[in-house]
A and B are shown apart, each in its own frame.
Chain A
């Protein structure tokens, strides 16, 4: 009976949540079995872990206006006449883009704190009776997408140290960074595969980053004094040169020199017992300083001239404690308001918590709105990208859904690969997953020689707790590979003076991939004492494995597809959609009337298996737009979890002369 009630309650909450529109308060959904008022207003998921002694409330417009005019004190005493609250304040500090914040209703969210001994449900029931409160949300607690296992690196203990240097920087440990350049070294794993990396070696000849690209690492603390990271930290000069304890730049945050600690509301700190080093590890993958003669190399850590991308730290975890939905939202808004163009987020809510995009959006409306704030074009923080990019880890539950919020189309969700280019045993895959990257896979290592840790990812960490350099694994580690490559891409676009809309950039990022589907057939991979069948991952790891060189090439531009006039032509479009083009699900082709006329199309072009079929009757050039799904065979959104729509504009050149190899003559 107890279970039945619980299930009914859960179902009712989910049903109530799914009825909430994007920007408005929840609408009524009744369940006679429970407190009707609570059911109509509750937006949190009571099955998810949530913060004790805290609730988020969404007020009506009139009350919000009153607070603005009369101050929060008067309204507080009225609203909470029947209950005792220890704190009541706006959930978010003052977002800079007030107009957008208001449009998204961010100004109407408030945080209520109360005695932790009172059950949150009971307190929510009481608050729900107030007509001014349109919605209540549990402050849900996401978790880091890693098992937090950190194995200290021991310099010189591995045979890799002596092997031929394959990375062009003098950082002594980079011989162990297969994730950057994988030469198929069998001392890593018998199944290590050459080229199973992020394809960054050649990309470094074009760019190794740019200081005007700021990546917000929303995570555990980044040890900004780490000798391999200090030179890559974003610096808030006003705070650095200001007075301690004073909000020198008047941005609402005191002493936020390299970012902000949203847990203890102050300076970033990594001295708390139980600190995992997770955030510092993630930061090192993106931007550990290259060519400084110490430690490791990184994807976008510059060329040794202080020219790498910059890391801003939004600290959301502190030792064993993590922030809730409110802190995540606050961090995204801070990142948007203070110059980050990429939000790197290796945390999430486990895949089994949410049943669809709508379910997430209505359950955690505050965080969703913060994501919209971060990615709104009006908050773009780099001239080469029209809106900021959000990258999330897909999660480590080995299930066929991405964690949320990564599964949302507005985010890029990253699955994890091992040095064998195969899915890591822990990685989530399938619905909502967009792209794959190295995340490490401890279980495939050859532990006979004691070098099995090398199948994980080597990066920076915290000497006070786990060591200056450690091995870790997870989609948490895969995620910063994509953020790092994206940062490299934005750096290169800036160098070339190119501009992309946010969607365009995300689409070329998701199509800058190497194919892994050809490996995901009937075979198996060893996994400790077990084996894993690979077929289940086929076409479910996203579009493919991220490749930095391909991204830079797409940023330079993609050559036209040349076809012969007067006959049906088949053209490979993998230059536009990546090596996995043959396995993508295509949604259609948009041909504008002018293009149709110019090319004299005899019939509508089609695309299947990565091959465009087109019949032009006139010599001309024109553009068509092909749409596909990044990640799986159906789109997400609404009541589904699924892939993201990607669009590529393809330039068609139709000539009377045509060589199959694309040569002009």
Chain B
């Protein structure tokens, strides 16, 4: 009887560990990317929010220097770990980026220039930023 209880306990432990480690299916990199991000490190002073959406569109709210955030829209594409994109005005991103997503942190490194590394944390875009941003006309 004691032995049966040990076996049951062991089974329960296994079940609970299984749920902890992936009761849900492991997310792909693309799925992990599809959320809202806020810059925690940029090569220059600035403040950036990016929303990558499942329909392969993005919204970029950037404040470099002073003034309200500026909104750029466009589309993105991910091949393995290489992220590329295009603004809605037709201009391609200035670089392609190698991305790494660890836990709730996104690191984007330009393939052209390793010094161009930006780090983002998972964070909702504040309503204030959305409401007060200036849309960059060219990228509509």
Contacts and interface: CB of A to CB of B under 8 A. Distances in A.
Interface stretch (B9-17, B19-27, B44-52, B121-129): B44-52
Contacts of A558: 65-67
A663 B116 contact: no
A76 interface: no
Contacts, number: 91
B95 to A, nearest CB: 5
Given A620-B44, A656-B113, A665 B93 contact: yes
Interface string B79-97: 0000001010101011101
A117 interface: no
A661 B91 contact: yes
Contact of A619 (B43, B46, B48, B70): B43
Given A553-B67, A556-B68, A557-B67, A664 B43 contact: no
Contacts of A665: 60, 72, 85, 93-95, 97
Interface in A507-530: none
Given A621-B44, A663-B60, A663-B139, A657 B113 contact: yes
Contacts of B65: 557-560, 651, 653
B63 interface: yes
B66 A621 contact: no
Contacts of A660: 91
Nearest to A665: B93
A663 to B, nearest CB: 5
Nearest to A565: B113
A558 B46 CA distance: 13
Contact of A657 (B62, B67, B94): B94
How many interface residues does chain A have, given as a range?
Answer: 20 to 34
B110 A661 contact: no
Contacts of A559: 63-67, 70
Given A619-B115, A659-B87, A659-B91, A664 B46 contact: yes
B93 A661 contact: no
Given A661-B139, A663-B87, A653 B93 contact: no
A557 B95 CA distance: 28
A557 B66 contact: yes
B8 interface: no
B67 A556 contact: yes
B72 A653 contact: no
Listed residue (A558, A564, A619, A665) with the most chain B CB atoms within 10 angstroms of its CB = A665
Contact of B64 (A560, A620, A656, A661): A560
24 contacts: A556-B66, A556-B67, A558-B65, A558-B67, A559-B63, A560-B64, A560-B65, A562-B64, A619-B43, A653-B46, A653-B65, A655-B44, A656-B113, A657-B113, A659-B87, A661-B136, A662-B136, A663-B74, A663-B87, A663-B94, A664-B46, A665-B85, A665-B95, A665-B97
Given A564-B94, A619-B116, A653-B65, 11 more contacts: A553-B68, A556-B68, A557-B67, A657-B94, A657-B112, A661-B138, A661-B139, A662-B136, A664-B64, A665-B93, A665-B95
Q: Which 9 pairs of residues, A with B, have the shortest CB-CB distance?
A: A557-B66, A560-B65, A656-B113, A557-B67, A665-B93, A657-B94, A559-B65, A621-B44, A659-B94
